[in-house]
Amino acid sequence: MSDLLDGVPLMSLQRAAGDQAGAACLAKAERDRQFDTDGAAKFILGWLAKHGPQAGEKLTNAAMMHGYRPHDQRAFGPVYAGLARRGAIKCLGFCERQKGHGTSGGRIWSLA
């Protein structure tokens, strides 16, 4: 099986599809639940500053306990991606996920 589709690496296409789905999920959360994206990002930064490196799922759970409740927890994905793109956080490694049937791929985030 080729790693290209019409000359474009499949990984690039998959990443773009994931980014598009994440953006749609976040837009729905902001529209339907008045999800405060900037507030959630600031909360994550503050939590990491106070508690140190954490698995993304633990960060998401903490944010939700403090009132940042989108319609779907996947809306947090673009929040983490935006913080990482800006260089505010970095991935230290990976861990087993607590959600998603314990699959691999959970990220451990820290302040950059």
Domain holding 66, by residue range, is 4-111
Amino acid at 45: L
Q: Which long-range contacts (CB under 8 A, 24 or more apart) does 64-70 make?
A: 68/35, 68/36, 68/39, 68/40, 68/43, 69/33, 69/35, 70/25, 70/26, 70/29, 70/33, 70/35
Q: Structure pTM?
A: 0.79
Mean local confidence (pLDDT), 78-87:
96
Tell the burial category of 56 from Cβ atoms under 10 Å away from its Cβ (0-12, 13-18, 19+).
buried
pLDDT tens digit sequence for 95-108:
988 887 767 789 99
Instruction: Look up the CATH number of the domain holding residue 29.
Output: 1.10.10.10
Contact 108, 94 (CB under 8 A): yes
Render pLDDT for 55-69 as a digit per residue (tens, 0 to 9).
999 999 999 999 999
Q: How many domains does the chain have?
A: 1
